[in-house]
Chain A
Amino acid sequence: MTQTRNLIDENGKRTDGRTTDELREIRITAGVVKNADGSAFIEFGMNKIVVAVYGPREVHPKHMALTDRCVLRCRYHMSPFSTDTRKNPAPSRREVEISKVMREALEPTLMLEDYPRAAIDVYVEVLQADGGSRCAGITAASVALADAGISMRDIVSACAAGKVDDKIVLDINDTEDKEGGADMPLAYMPHLEKVTLLQLDGILTEEEFNKCLDKAIKGCIMVYEVQRQALMQKYFGNESELREEQ
C-alpha cells in the first residue's frame, strides 16, 4: 500500500487525535433487541453494530444438527447504507470469510457440548462501518452470548493493532486501514490468555509483529473492561457501581 500523507503528526497524534496507545471511544449496551435471547449494541469509534443471539434452539434444517454438541452459526452482514458507497446487500466473499473467522473466534469460549442437537445463531449487523468492524462485532457478539446466558469459559475481546507511518499503533481506524502499512485484528480470551482470532495484512518485521501482538492484547484487555461494565450495568443496574467499590 502506498502512503499518501502523514498519518501521525509531529506531536504523535493520529488523524483522529488519538495517541498510538489509545482506543477509540467504545460504548456497549447489553439487551437491546427485545425478541432475542441475548443481544448487544456496540459503538466502537464510528462503528455501530447490533448483535442478536437466538438459541440454544432446535436446528433447522434438522440434518445440520450434531449429536455431541451444539451447532454455532454466525452471520456477519453489512447494511447497504453502512459504507460510503452503497454496499450490495447480497453477502460478499469478504462477509462470508468474516462470518467464518468470527464463528471460529467465538467457538473456543462456548461450552457447545452442553447443548447437543441444538443450534445457537449469532447475527451481527453492521449498521455503520468504520475500520475494525470485525473486532467490534466479535466484542459485541460475546456480550450478547453472555446476555443470552450461554455457558462460556471466558469472554472474547477483540481489537486490532497495526503499523502507521512506521509506528506500531493500537486500534487502526478506517483512514489508517486504507492508507496505512499493516492491520492486525486479534481476538483474545483475557482469563484463559488465548488468542482466538489473528489476521494480518501488510508488511511487518518479526520485531514489529511481536510488538503488534503485545499491543493488540493490551487493547483487548481494555475492551474487556467495557464489556464487563456493559454486563454489570444490565444485570445489576446502578447497584453495579456499589459492587465495584466493595
Chain B
Amino acid sequence: MSSSKRSTVIVEHLRRQQMWESISRGKRLDGRNLDETRVIEIEPGVIKKANGSARVKLGNSEVVAGVKVETGEPFEGLENKGALILSAEVLPIASPYVEPGPPDEETIELARVVDRGIRESEMLDLNKLVLKPGEIVYVIFVDCSVVNADGNLFDTTSYAVVSALINSKMPVFEIRDGKVVDTGQKVDPPITTLPVSVTAVRIGESLILDPNAEEEACMDARITITTNSDRCFTAVQKGSTGAFTVDQLRRAAETAKIKGDEIRTKLRELTNVGR
C-alpha cells in the first residue's frame, strides 16, 4: 500500500528557507542556475564480465549498469520480439537512509520509469532479436545498481542504461540441431535511437532541472520526460505530491527537448560512439 511519509533526507527549516529565497533569485544553493544540470561523467565498459557496462555519475549520484545477453522464451503476446528486462536497485551503500531488503515503491517506480523510457522509445529493435519465432529469442538484461544517491536517480539510471547498451557487444547465438549454441562472434546491438530523460522539479513556482537530494527533499512536484533522437516525446512520469499548471508542463516539455539534445550529444561523445 502506498503511504505518504516524511522525506528521508532531512533539510532544516532555515536551510529550506534559504533554498526558497535563493531559487526565487534564480540561483541554487550549490551555485547552479535553475536550468543547469550537473556534470555528467561516464566510464564505459567498466565491467569486463558483462556484455556491456557503464558507470555514470551525475554530480554525486552514481549508477553502474551492466548488460547481459542470454536466450530464452519470448514474453506472452510478444512472440516475435526479443525480450528486454530492466532492473534497478538502490544499494544500501548508496545512502544512510537505504536499508537492504525488498524494493520499496520508490525503487519500483525508478525501475519502471527508466524501463518505460528505454522500451517506449524502441531504442533496441527487438524484432531483430528473434532466433526461432515464438520459441527462442534473445533476452537482454540491463541491471542497474545505484552506488551513491544524491538526487535525480531517474536520469542518472537512464543515462547509465543507454551508455551500457551503446557500449555492449552481443554474442551471436545460432540454433543447431534444435540447440542454442554460441557462435563466438560478437555484434553491436540493434540500436535505433538514443532516449534521454530529463527531470525537472517544481519548488515554489520555479522549475529547476536535475535536482540533488536536498532539493528533492524540498520539491513540490516532479516531472520526468524522455525524448528520442527525433526529438519526440516517448515517456513521461509526474511524481511527488504537488501539481503542475499546464503552462509549467509545456515549459518542462520544451526544456526536456532542448536539454535532451545537449545531453544526447554528450552521451555519444563520452561513450565514443558516433551513432
> Which A residues form the contact surface with B (CB < 8 A)?
64, 66, 69, 71-75, 93-94, 96-97, 99-104, 107-108, 112, 121, 184, 189, 192-206, 209-210, 213, 217
Contacts and interface: CB of A to CB of B under 8 A. Distances in A.
Contacts of A195: 238, 243-246, 249
A96 B4 contact: no
A108 B242 CA distance: 5
Interface residues of B, number: 40
A97 B108 contact: yes
A206 B116 contact: no
B4 A203 contact: no
B43 interface: no
A104 B232 CA distance: 26
B25 interface: no
Contacts of A206: 231-233, 253-254, 257
Contact of B238 (A73, A192, A197, A210): A197
Interface in B205-255: 223, 228, 231-246, 249-250, 253-254
Interface of B: 1-6, 105-106, 108-109, 111-112, 116, 119-122, 223, 228, 231-246, 249-250, 253-254, 257
Given A192-B243, A195-B243, A202 B3 contact: no
A209 B239 CA distance: 18
Contacts of A97: 105, 108-109, 112
A200 B232 CA distance: 12
23 contacts: A66-B6, A69-B4, A73-B3, A96-B2, A96-B108, A99-B105, A100-B106, A101-B238, A101-B239, A102-B2, A103-B4, A108-B241, A193-B245, A195-B243, A195-B245, A200-B235, A203-B120, A203-B121, A203-B122, A203-B234, A205-B233, A206-B254, A209-B253
B171 to A, nearest CB: 26
Contacts of A73: 1-4
Given A93-B108, A108-B241, 11 more contacts: A74-B1, A193-B246, A195-B238, A199-B236, A200-B234, A204-B234, A205-B232, A206-B231, A206-B257, A210-B250, A213-B250
Question: What 7 A-B pairs come out closest when comparing CB atoms?
Answer: A200-B236, A194-B243, A99-B2, A198-B238, A107-B241, A108-B243, A75-B1
A196 B246 CA distance: 10
Given A96-B108, A102-B2, A107-B4, A213 B243 contact: no
Contacts of B121: 203
Nearest to B241: A107
Contacts of B240: 104
Contacts of B237: 101, 198-200
A170 B173 CA distance: 44
A178 B1 CA distance: 27
Contacts of A75: 1-2
Contacts of B236: 184, 198-200
A139 to B, nearest CB: 16
A194 B244 contact: yes
Nearest to B109: A97
B124 to A, nearest CB: 14
